[in-house]
Amino acid sequence: MTETITTMSTDLDLLAERVEKAAALIQRMREDRTRLERERDDLTHRLQESEQKLQGQDVPALLGEIQTLRKEQREWQGERREILTRIETLVKKLERLEG
């Protein structure tokens, strides 16, 4: 009989341990769910803000404008390099005339 009681006690201890582990797991999962819900709400809010900022604007047109601006920037950089080269040439000619 003592053996049966010992076995039941061991089984109850194992069961209690499993229940405690399950309870801890459930608590972690609830915390994770709460954290994920907050992240979802934050991302939803950010998405709504972005949509409001873009509302009424034609995204493909904006992308086309960006491409045009980048092309103009490259052209200006080329012109800038050309002007720099001309200025350097003129400075060298002036130095020769002075020397």
- Do both 16 and 48 map to the same domain? yes
- Whole-angstrom distance, CA of residue 91 vs CA of residue 54: 50
* Residue 65 shares a structural domain with residue 47: no
pLDDT digits (tens, 9 = 90+) for 12-71: 888 899 999 999 999 999 999 999 999 999 999 999 998 888 787 888 888 999 999 999
* Joined tokens for residue 88: 């350097």
Check residue 1 and give its pLDDT: 59
75 has pLDDT over 80: yes
Verify that 52 and 67 share a domain, yes or no: no
**The pTM is what?**
0.47
50 shares a domain with 8: yes
Q: Which tokens hold the place of 61?
A: 């047109």
> Which two structure tokens, joined as six digits, stand for 29?
């999962």
**Whole-angstrom distance, CA of residue 60 vs CA of residue 47:** 19
